[in-house]
């Protein structure tokens, strides 16, 4: 389900990430990471992406971090 307000959701998620990882804010302030940006994608878009890279179902792990924009660029194809 899409949050009613993506900006409010982004603030809450950012706060949660700071609480879970003590280095998160340091990485943003040091310009190692860019600040959190949320882009809504169509329902089922993530599953479509995983299927397109042959990783849907089974024992495949969800990608967590990446040093490039490859995953983000692929997911942007499903942007609302």
What value, to the nearest 5°, has the Cα angle with vertex 74 and ends 68 and 76? 105
pLDDT tens per residue across all 80 residues of the chain? 778 899 999 999 999 998 999 898 899 899 988 888 888 899 999 999 999 999 988 888 888 877 788 999 999 999 98
Rounded distance between C-alpha atoms, residue 45 and residue 41, angstroms? 6
Q: Which tokens is 39 given?
A: 């882009």
Model pLDDT, residue 43: 92
Query: What residue ranges do the domains of the chain occupy?
Result: 1-38, 40-80
CA atoms in the 13 A half-sphere facing the CB of 1: 3
Q: Please, are residues 80 and 40 in contact by the beta-carbon 8 Å criterion?
A: yes
């Amino acid at each position: 389900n899409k949050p009613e307000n993506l900006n409010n959701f982004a603030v809450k998620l950012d706060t949660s990430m700071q609480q879970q990882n003590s280095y998160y804010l340091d990485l943003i302030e040091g310009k190692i990471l860019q600040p959190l940006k949320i882009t809504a994608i169509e329902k089922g878009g993530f599953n479509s992406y995983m299927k397109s890279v042959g990783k849907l179902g089974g024992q495949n792990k969800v990608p967590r971090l990446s040093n490039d924009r490859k995953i983000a660029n692929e997911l942007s194809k499903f942007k609302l």
